[in-house]
Every structure is written in structure tokens, then in C-alpha cells.
Amino acid sequence: MPELANVRITANFSRNLDDIESFFAQLSQPKQFESLLDQLFDTIIPNLQQFPLIGKDFLAELPGSVEGITTLQKIKARMSENASIRQYTSKDYLVLYLHKDQEITLLAIKHHRQLYFHVR
């Protein structure tokens, strides 16, 4: 059996979870957040550990604006050659993560209805 990838959670990812929790609290749907946490720890993280390349290459598609293309070029310039930023979709959520060797770094999470990832 291949070695499982190590998973780290960034402060930004934690903030995104806090934002999602607040959103569901405002809707009086706290069980939705509990369901997200179950999905995160029972499905998403184990899948990424076992299949780190499961997500699509987030940087492979060109953004539709000059600002987006400029940002993309800056991100690519800062990354090492063997690293990739990937997007994994699971039910109602999109997870942005960095894959490098046997390391997975969770960068951001958003509900599919959100317009963009909140990365600070």
C-alpha cells in the first residue's frame, strides 16, 4: 500500500470554515456545518491522502481578466516545479489545496454558490 500524503490545514482554511459556520448559524442550520465537518474528515481528507492528484489543476485554466492572469503568473512564479495547486469538488464544496511530493496543504474551502475563494 502506498504511503498516505500528510495533510496540513492553513489559517486561511480555518477562517473559511469559521465563515461557513457563521453562514449556517445565520440560516439556523448548524447541522449543515456539522455535516461539512463529517464530510471533511471522513471523505475529503482521506481521499486527498490516498489520491493527492484527484483534484483538477487549478492553474491550468486561464482566468477571464488581465488582473486574474497577472495574479496567476505571480502564483506560478512563487511555486516550486514539483508543486501544483489543485481543486477538489465534494458535494456542495470546493477545496483548494497545494500538492507537493507527499504533502497536501489545504488552502481554502467554499460552498459552490460562493463566487470566489477567500484567500488572505
Show the domains of the chain with their CATH numbers.
Answer: 6-117 (3.30.2310.20)
Mean pLDDT of the chain: 88
Answer yes or no: are the C-beta atoms of 93 and 112 closer than 8 Å: yes
Which residues, in sequence order, are CB contacts of 102 under 8 Å at separation 6+?
3, 4, 5, 6, 52
Q: For residue range 56-104, what is the model confidence (pLDDT) as tens digits?
A: 998 888 778 888 788 778 777 888 889 999 999 998 899 999 999 999 9
- Residue 106 is predicted with a pLDDT of 96
